[in-house]
Each structure stands twice: as structure tokens, then as C-alpha cells.
Amino acid sequence: MNKTTGLSPFDMHCHVGTWQTPDFCHRSTGLGDLTTLYERLGFAGALITTTDMADNTGLAHEIEAYSGPLDLRFAFWVLPANLNELNKLAGHVAALKIHPSFLRRPVSDPAFKPFLAMARSMGWPVVVHCGRWQEVAGFELALDTARQWPEVNFVLSHMGGDAPCLVHDTVDRIVRLGIKNVFLGTESIRQFDLVQYAVSRLGAARVVFGSDYNLNSPSAFVHVVLDAELTTEENELILYRNARDLLTQA
């Protein structure tokens, strides 16, 4: 439990490994860096995926070997060509991660169909990166895909896109179309009013705390949620209950 907040957050969006893209200055951390930090911060656990190196097998086994107080879960980083690896690792997997921008393909691309079918049969949530590149990583593509796979829960990263108007548009479209199987991840969202907006229109059960560690500081994003001045129950839903519910359906 965190000494300041009295809460034990679960982080639904973490990366471990080394980034290839120069955009992140080749940032590199190991699992030990994460566990040392998250234990010190009093977190309950984290859903961890790889970087753009997609070292799924290495990370899955590292997580398996961890024996500390944190509840660590593994999210498989999808590549169009790594379905065989997913089949081999299926027993370690808690969720899928699809990053359309890095893969330069929208989540609606037929290449992802076998992965979504596997998520459906295994009960895994699918975390989809959403950003400003609307033709590839736009929230509308993610929402359309969610409507085509109603038995799969989708978590839209960055609450649908890391820009205030994109978040508003994402929330409004979910409400208008009555989409039930979509959740919004708070990673990289710095404006507490966006959390308030999503909670007021969708309810706290549809917002899931994430930080985007190793690119962001986890506690900074806990405070974005807390600054929204929600009820204790709403904070608990966002900071750990929703993640736990999503991950225990598997």
C-alpha cells in the first residue's frame, strides 16, 4: 500500500525492455527496475508488455520467475508474424497488446484476426494503442473493431488518443453507439478533467489506470486520477478493481 495515498494501485500499462525507436532515446529497463520501483511505491501489481523489440518469450519467462509481493501479469506484444509464439506462450498470457503505430497497420487489419479470435477464446482483454495518427491508430478504428468483436474486452490506451479533443470524441462515440466492451486507459493523460469527463459519461467502471512506465512515472498518473476528486469507490475501481476484473476473466 502506498504510504501517501493509502491505495494499492494496479498499473494496466507498463513496458519492460529496450526501445528500438530513437523517439524514446533507446530507454532501457529490466524487470528488476520495475519491481524495485513498484514495491517501493506500494503498488499491488502491473500488466507488463515488452517494447518494440517484441521479446515476448524472454519477458514471459522473467515474469514467471519473479517471486515477490507484486501481482505481475504478462501482456503479449502482437506482431503479424508471431502467432506461433503466442500459441507457445498462451499459458503465460493475461492480455494482448496491439500497437498500430509501430506496426503501421490499423487494429482492423485482417492480420490481427487470428489474435483477436484467440483473445476471444481465452478471455484475454486486448490493449490497443490509440494516438493522433487517425488513419492507423485512430479511436474510431479501435471502436469499430470492438463492435465487431463484442465478446472481447478492449482497453483503448491514452483514453482513445493523447489529446483532449480525441478523448472527448472517444467518450462521446462510445456513449452514442452504446459500446459496452471498451475501457479507457489513463496512461499519458495529464488532465484530470478528462478523467472526470469519462467518469461522468461512462462511469468509473470503464476507466482503467495505466502509466506507460518505463516511459512515464507511475505515481504521477495515480495523482491525475486522485486530482479528479472522485468518490473513494470510483478511485478504487479505476486504480485497481477494473484491472483485476478484466484480467480475471481469462
- Cβ proximity to Zn ion: between 212 and 234 the closer is 212
CB of 84 to Zn ion, least distance (A): 24
Check binding of 212 to Zn ion (CB under 5 A). Answer: yes
CB of 15 to Zn ion, least distance (A): 6
For 217, other C-beta atoms within 10 Å of its C-beta total 14
Give the integer Cα–Cα distance in Å for 54 and 208: 24
In the range 74-113, which residues lie near Zn ion by CB under 5 A? none
CB of 211 to Zn ion, least distance (A): 9
- Which residue of this chain has its Cβ atom nearest to Zn ion in the complex? 212
In 3D space, the residue among 150, 151, 147, 173 whose CA is nearest the CA of residue 160 turns out to be 173
- Cβ proximity to Zn ion: between 50 and 230 the closer is 50
For 146, other C-beta atoms within 10 Å of its C-beta total 25
Write the DSSP symbol of residue 213: B
Among the residue ranges 24-32, 145-153, 210-218, 231-239, the one whose residues contact Zn ion (CB under 5 A): 210-218
Q: Residue 181 to residues 100, 145, 154: CA-CA distances in angstroms? A: 19, 11, 6
- Cβ proximity to Zn ion: between 210 and 230 the closer is 210
**In which order are the strands placed within the sheet that holds 10-15?**
10-15, 45-49, 71-77, 93-98, 126-128, 154-156, 182-185, 207-208
CB of 185 to Zn ion, least distance (A): 9
CB of 93 to Zn ion, least distance (A): 17
- Cβ proximity to Zn ion: between 162 and 212 the closer is 212
CB of 121 to Zn ion, least distance (A): 25
- Cβ proximity to Zn ion: between 129 and 206 the closer is 129
Q: x-or-dash pattern for Zn ion, window 153-192, by CB under 5 A?
A: ----------------------------------------
CB of 202 to Zn ion, least distance (A): 22
- Using CB under 5 A as the binding criterion, the count of chain residues that bind Zn ion stands at 1
Q: Is the dihedral of CA 54, 66, 95, 117 positive or negative?
A: positive
In 3D space, the residue among 105, 7, 72 whose CA is nearest the CA of residue 247 turns out to be 72
Check binding of 11 to Zn ion (CB under 5 A). Answer: no
- Cβ proximity to Zn ion: between 11 and 62 the closer is 11
Give the DSSP H/E element, type plus range, for residue 46.
strand 45-49
Give the integer Cα–Cα distance in Å for 246 and 26: 31
Residues 97, 100, 105, CA angle at the centre, nearest 5°?
130
Residues at the interface with Zn ion (CB under 5 A): 212
